[in-house]
Chain A
Amino acid sequence: MKLPLADLPLGQSARITSIDCERHLSRRLMEMGLLPGTPVRVVRVAPLGDPIELRVRNYALSLRRAEAANIAVSSEETA
């Protein structure tokens, strides 16, 4: 099932399928290792609801929901 990363339930793993946003940001995300096929998991949500924290390639990365909305993932568990 394909969905924006911002909507991925907490704790659930998924694979990135595409990143579709302004070039500066997408390049930055890709260079930090977020590429199509890369597994990600949402591990935490900030106390005020935004940003969210991801686990990707063995490190923790936080992103605003608005930015995470540009990353499409396909969830493995609810295929």
Chain B
Amino acid sequence: MSGNAAPAQVLIAGNPNCGKSTLFNALSGGSAHVGNYPGVTVDRTSARLRLGAREVQLVDVPGMYSLTAGSPEEQLAVNALIEGQTRAVICVVDATTLQRGLYLALQLIESGVSVVVALNMMDSAESLGLRIDTGRLSQLFGAPVVPVVATKRRGLDALLAALDKEIGGGSGAERVEVAYPPRLEADVAKLIPVVAQWRPETAPSQTRAFALWCLLSLGEDTLRGIPDDVRRAVHEIREAAKAQGRNIDLEIISARYAWLDDALGEVCSAQERGPSWSERIDRVLTHPVAGLVVFSAVMLGMFEALFAGAEPLIAAIESFTGLIQTQATMVLPPGVLQDLVVEGIIAGVGNVIVFAPQILMLFLFVGFLEDSGYLARVAFVIDRVMKGVGLHGKAFVPLLSGFACAIPAVMATRTIERRRDRLVTMLALPLMSCSARLPVYILVVGTVFAGQSLGWFSAGAVALFSMYTLSVLVTLAAAAVIGRTVLPGPAPTFVLEMPPYRWPSAQILWINAWRRLRVFLVDAGTIILAMTILLWALLSFPKSADIADHYAEERERIEQTEASEIDRAEALRSLDSQEAAEQLGYSLGGRFGHAIEPALRPIGFDWQIGVGIIGAFAAREVFISTLGVVFGLGEADEENIPLRQALRDARHADGTPVMTPLSGISLMVFFLLACQCMSTLAVVRRESGSWKWPLFLFSYMTALAYMASLAVYQGGQLLGFG
């Protein structure tokens, strides 16, 4: 081994669904570290692995069908391969779809890196009556081929032994050389000197593979770090070939498949296949009627789990946070430190972990759908609808989850393969009316529509129904618009493998969901905590000494005048709430609310609602407790009668009521459309890898919300409502 400080890396590569994650977990025993690949927002899962006398780092590379790349994301596997630390690659191949899996193995072996082929799913292959001569295959490839069953941990020792030997220098077997057509060989020969100049330290055989990679990958790509002269050379060669009516892509790929077809004819016994049980399941699950029924039932089940299943856990976390806050209030002396700890830090940590139940639920569910193979069918069934707004069928599950909470929903977009499609989805889905908006609707409806009805229905029910309908329409429209303007690009292609149905392992579902949660807690959690503290400071400082003195005097007066103990306590409590309200008005946040009042008047709000909106940024439901403080009522929730009364009694300076049905609708529309949720921004930052996208999200949603509320309020007034 070299004296290199970085540990030797062993990559696990393979097609999607071939069992990579299962093998990775079987080899690493579940202990893993999730990081990020530099420059792209793709998770990099790695673990330490003892291999004889060595210790290596095992890295799970995202699923791929080939090394060919058109985007930085696809490039990452190639970059990982040519990194100095990479010592070997375990190429996992699903034995039931040998040719396609071995195409990748062939490319890897050609590239000159040490490869061990793990022929996985041997149990399924055997039950299909498939016989594979792995010894002969290994000879043909010039690389070890080890049959394994990752789920049953079969063949792992042999795999590790082969890997150890390969890292230690290998068997010296001659590697496969695919015979390409002579004209193509001439092209490659022309390109080799250019590539060699770019990477002088590379071995000649690798330079050849790299030249082939360039011919296949370059042109109409967004790859990074490719020198101009290489691009130019590739362009010239491709143009010349085109002029002769040749298709270089086809020449390269079909030469490889021709080699594979020959080799497999030798090592693989012909198989006789009736309809497998997977096919029989599909006859039901993608049936025009039964398929849609099952689809609706599964999606409803997911929804139920997110909404109802997570609810008790969320309530428990919230009351636990409250308990800790009470404890801290008792232990710490009153003052700024107490406030910081209770309302900044503890509330902030609470704001982070409150998402844990829904994230776990959604990822267990999505993990189950993905590993069982049904997620591909979900996309298959619903793609027709998604295509209409320029989305991929796989966008459906994240969008639907948006009804519960945007945070896990944004995280679920990672099942979508292409970065652009992922971004469009995560930028539109925060418009879905999440469960945190509901308390705000309930408060408003209870305030302005109490007891009214519209024909058969109560006015409140109609208002709520309209909000949810509007939310779906706006989300789909936003996806369509964003996909055409901000993120133009070819519409998503739908080339999706339908893997056979398999029963997922509960342990792996847990491990994966837990890893996702940990990434959220660490990466998005720190941002959420920091923003909670910032908001707390904004709504707490500066404090006015005059107000404090005034209330201190009032308190003293009450202590002396009120005779009964109960009256005195009551009067003091009301004084506390009034003081909190005045101090809030004096704080930066309060002043900001006053400052933006001119902008809020046209949409029917006043400064107090403005302060509520600022507070709501910590979490939408905080809107209500902030309003409680603004109106001097202390603690309040959406069912709070005094708060509703206070809202009804609130008056503008000219004496007109603030809350009318019209301004109520305007407020609901604003809450529906505005990005009143810093946690969403934090998680979009994590998943998109830059601050640019959360900033864009915040700006466009706020602008949209303002304009929609303006249209509602002004239009309504013109029509004589309110």
A10 shortest CB reach to chain B, Å: 12
Q: Which residue of the partner chain, among A22, A53, A59, contacts B100 with CB atoms under 8 Å? A: A59
Q: A50-B383, A59-B100 are in contact. Are A67 and B287 (CB under 8 A)?
A: no
Q: Which residue of the partner chain, among B97, B103, B219, B254, contacts A59 with CB atoms under 8 Å? A: B97
B104 shortest CB reach to chain A, Å: 9
| A29 and B383 alpha carbons, distance in the complex (Å) | 19
- Write out the residue numbers on chain B whose beta carbons fall within 8 Å of the beta carbon of A61: 495-498
- Write out the residue numbers on chain B whose beta carbons fall within 8 Å of the beta carbon of A58: 96-99
Q: Dominant SS at the B interface? A: helix
- Write out the residue numbers on chain A whose beta carbons fall within 8 Å of the beta carbon of B382: 48
> Contact string, A45-76, partner B, CB cutoff 8 A, digits 1/0?
01111110100011111111001000000000
| A32 and B68 alpha carbons, distance in the complex (Å) | 12
Most buried by B among A31, A36, A43: A31
Q: Are B66 and A31 in contact (CB under 8 A)?
A: yes
> Contact string, A23-34, partner B, CB cutoff 8 A, digits 1/0?
111111111110
Q: Are B253 and A30 in contact (CB under 8 A)?
A: yes
Task: Find residues 266-324 in chain B having any chain A CB closer than 8 Å to their own CB.
Answer: 279, 282, 286-289, 291-292
Q: Are A57 and B493 in contact (CB under 8 A)?
A: no
Q: Are B286 and A30 in contact (CB under 8 A)?
A: no
Q: Are B288 and A23 in contact (CB under 8 A)?
A: no
Q: Dominant SS at the A interface? A: mixed
Task: Find residues 219-275 in chain B having any chain A CB closer than 8 Å to their own CB.
Answer: 219-220, 249-250, 253-254, 257
B527 shortest CB reach to chain A, Å: 35
The verdict on A3 contacting chain B, using a C-beta distance below 8 Å, is no
Q: A47-B288, A47-B291 are in contact. Are A23 and B219 (CB under 8 A)?
A: yes
Q: How large is the interface on B (under 10, 10 to 19, 20 to 34, 35 or more residues)?
A: 35 or more
Name the CB-closest residue of A to B66: A31
- Write out the residue numbers on chain B whose beta carbons fall within 8 Å of the beta carbon of A26: 249
- Write out the residue numbers on chain B whose beta carbons fall within 8 Å of the beta carbon of A27: 68, 216, 249, 253
B195 shortest CB reach to chain A, Å: 20
Q: Which residue of the partner chain, among A23, A36, A44, contacts B249 with CB atoms under 8 Å? A: A23
- Write out the residue numbers on chain B whose beta carbons fall within 8 Å of the beta carbon of A51: 380, 383-384, 393, 494
Q: Are A59 and B497 in contact (CB under 8 A)?
A: yes
- Write out the residue numbers on chain B whose beta carbons fall within 8 Å of the beta carbon of A57: 97, 99-100
Q: Which residue of the partner chain, among B289, B493, B497, contacts A60 with CB atoms under 8 Å? A: B497
Q: A27-B216, A63-B495 are in contact. Are A35 and B100 (CB under 8 A)?
A: no
Name the CB-closest residue of A to B257: A35
Q: Are A64 and B494 in contact (CB under 8 A)?
A: yes
> Contact string, B676-711, partner A, CB cutoff 8 A, digits 1/0?
000000000000000000000000000000000000
Q: Are B495 and A25 in contact (CB under 8 A)?
A: yes
- Write out the residue numbers on chain B whose beta carbons fall within 8 Å of the beta carbon of A63: 494-495
- Write out the residue numbers on chain B whose beta carbons fall within 8 Å of the beta carbon of A67: 493-495
- Write out the residue numbers on chain A whose beta carbons fall within 8 Å of the beta carbon of B220: 23-24
A1 shortest CB reach to chain B, Å: 23
Q: Which residue of the partner chain, among A29, A43, A49, A60, contacts B495 with CB atoms under 8 Å? A: A29
B329 shortest CB reach to chain A, Å: 57
The verdict on B65 contacting chain A, using a C-beta distance below 8 Å, is yes
The verdict on B182 contacting chain A, using a C-beta distance below 8 Å, is no
Q: A57-B97, A58-B99 are in contact. Are A48 and B254 (CB under 8 A)?
A: no
The verdict on B387 contacting chain A, using a C-beta distance below 8 Å, is yes
Question: What are 10 A-B pairs at a CB distance below 8 A?
Answer: A24-B220, A24-B490, A30-B254, A32-B65, A35-B254, A36-B250, A36-B254, A47-B381, A48-B382, A59-B497
A residues near B (Cβ < 8 Å) are: 22-33, 35-36, 43-44, 46-51, 53, 57-64, 67
